[in-house]
Structure 1
Amino acid sequence: MAGKFVISKDKKGEFRFVLKAGNGEIIAMSEGYASKDGAKNGIESVRKNAADATVVDES
């Protein structure tokens, strides 16, 4: 099963999204957004930028 983005509204009224792996495990979590459209834009940004993102190990 493919991963999926899930948008929800938190107790403070902010919209957040999580990225869930095919097994349902949360693998990424967003900041809070004032609107659902803001959260959707955040998802599109992750989709656009994550494919070519580099990995930096700062440990």
Structure 2
Amino acid sequence: MMGKFIISKRQDNEFQFKLRATNGQVILSSEGYITKASCNKAIESVKTNASSDMRYERKIARNGLYYFNLKASNGEIIGTSQMYTTFIARDNGVESVMVNAPVATIQDETI
């Protein structure tokens, strides 16, 4: 089994994707997009940029939890992780995105 991008519609009618690892855990989420085409373009950007370690911005939130952003080549954030209690767990999340995103299938739940 491989990772999967799930496209859904938020309450504000914007499209969003979540990348789920093979264990079903959400490892990356997007912002909202007005069109499905923009959401799909962001997924392609994740697939393109996921294998490059320098595209990951590793952060610590004000509450002391760890997370990361995946950035496109233009510096724009294309996905944000969940919060992790340790930097090791966060770094494992980065590795999971690196492995899963490039080969992940896309499931559109808006149809």
Do they superpose with TM above 0.5?
Answer: yes
1:50 aligns with 2:47: no
Partner of 2:13: 13
Give TM-score scaled by structure 1 length.
0.89
Alpha-carbon distance, 1:10 to partner: 0.6
CA 1:21–1:33: 2 relative to 1, 3 Å: same
The separation in 2 between residues aligned to 1:58 and 1:24, in whole angstroms, is 24
The percentage of counterpart residues that share the same residue type is 44
Alpha-carbon distance, 1:50 to partner: 1.3
* Larger-gyration structure (1/2): 2
SS at match of 2:49: helix
Pairwise CA RMSD: 1.5
The separation in 2 between residues aligned to 1:21 and 1:7, in whole angstroms, is 15
Q: Output the amino acid matched with 1:39.
A: C
In structure 2, list runs of 5 or more residues that go unmatched.
61-111
- Bigger relative CO (Cα 8 Å, ≥ 6 apart): 2
Task: Between 38-47 and 48-57, report the one with greater CA deviation.
Answer: 48-57
Q: Output the amino acid matched with 1:5.
A: F
In structure 1, list runs of 5 or more residues that go unmatched.
none
Which has a greater percent of strand?
2
Which has a greater percent of helix?
2
